[in-house]
Amino acid sequence: MIALCHLRRSNVNYDIGAQPGYDQPMVRGAPRVDRRELTRRALVEAAMKRFADAGVTGTSVADIAGDVGVTERTFYRHFANKEEVLFVDYDDRIDWFRRALEVRPRSEPITQSVRYAVEAFPMDHRLVTEAARLRTCELTEHQMATHMQRVQAALGTEIEQHLRSRSKDANDLDVSVSAGMVAAAVFAALTAWGRRGDGDLGELGPMVQRALAAAEAGVNLLIGPSP
Question: What is the model's pLDDT at position 173?
Answer: 92
For residue range 162-189, what is the model confidence (pLDDT) as tens digits? 999 887 788 889 999 999 999 999 989 9
For residue range 111-136, what is the model confidence (pLDDT) as tens digits? 999 999 888 877 677 788 888 888 88
Res. 106 pLDDT band, cuts 50 70 90? confident
Res. 198 pLDDT band, cuts 50 70 90? low
Question: What is the model's pLDDT at position 94?
Answer: 84
Q: How far apart, in whole angstroms, are the C-alpha atoms of residue 117 and residue 122?
A: 11
Q: Collect all residues with Cβ–Cβ distance below 8 Å to 111 and sequence separation of at least 6.
A: 182, 185, 212, 213, 215, 216, 219
Average pLDDT over residues 82-97: 86
Task: Using the predicted structure, report yes or no on whether residue 97 has a pLDDT greater than 70.
Answer: yes
Residue 97 sits in a domain whose CATH number is 1.10.357.10
Q: Count structural domains, the chain.
A: 1
For residue range 135-165, what is the model confidence (pLDDT) as tens digits? 888 989 888 888 888 889 999 999 999 999 8
For residue range 15-57, what is the model confidence (pLDDT) as tens digits? 544 433 334 344 444 455 588 989 999 999 999 999 989 999 9
Task: Using the predicted structure, report yes or no on whether residue 105 has a pLDDT greater than 80.
Answer: yes
Q: Which pTM does this prediction carry?
A: 0.73
Q: Which domain holds residue 34?
A: 2-223
